[in-house]
Amino acid sequence: MLFRQLFEPESSTYTYLVSCPDTGVTALIDPVLATVERDLSQLHQMGLKLDYTIDTHVHADHLTGARRLRELSGSRIVYPAMVEAVCVDIGLREGEAFRIGNLALQPLFTPGHTDHHHAYLIDNGTQKMLFSGDALLIDACGRTDFQSGDARSLYRSIHDKFFTLPDETLVYPCHDYEGRFVSTIAQEKSRNPRLGQNRSLEEFVQIMEEMDLPYPRKIDVAVPGNEACGVNPRSAGEAEYTVLSKHDQG
Ligand SMILES: [Fe+2]
183-199 pLDDT tens trace: 999 999 999 999 999 99
CB 62 within 8 A of CB 39: no
CA 58 to ligand 1 centroid distance, Å: 7
Q: What is the pLDDT of residue 22?
A: 97
Question: What is the mean predicted confidence (pLDDT) over 85-99?
Answer: 98
- What is residue 113's DSSP assignment? S
CA 23 to ligand 1 centroid distance, Å: 31
Q: 125: how many CB neighbours lie within 10 A of its CB?
A: 6
CB 131 within 8 A of CB 172: yes
> What does each C-alpha distance from 114 to 59, 83, 142, 147, 173 come to in angstroms?
9, 11, 9, 6, 15
Rounded to whole angstroms, the Cα distance separating 123 from 58 reads 25
CA 212 to ligand 1 centroid distance, Å: 17
CA 95 to ligand 1 centroid distance, Å: 23
Asked whether the predicted pLDDT for residue 125 surpasses 90, the reply is no
Asked whether the predicted pLDDT for residue 25 surpasses 50, the reply is yes
CA 47 to ligand 1 centroid distance, Å: 31
Among candidate residues 178, 185, 182, 184, the one with its CA nearest the CA of residue 160 = 185
Asked whether the predicted pLDDT for residue 238 surpasses 60, the reply is no
Among candidate residues 163, 165, 162, 169, the one with its CA nearest the CA of residue 184 = 169
pTM over 0.85: yes
Among candidate residues 92, 147, 142, 150, the one with its CA nearest the CA of residue 121 = 92
Among candidate residues 100, 6, 78, the one with its CA nearest the CA of residue 230 = 78
CA 189 to ligand 1 centroid distance, Å: 22
CA 241 to ligand 1 centroid distance, Å: 16
Asked whether the predicted pLDDT for residue 244 surpasses 80, the reply is no
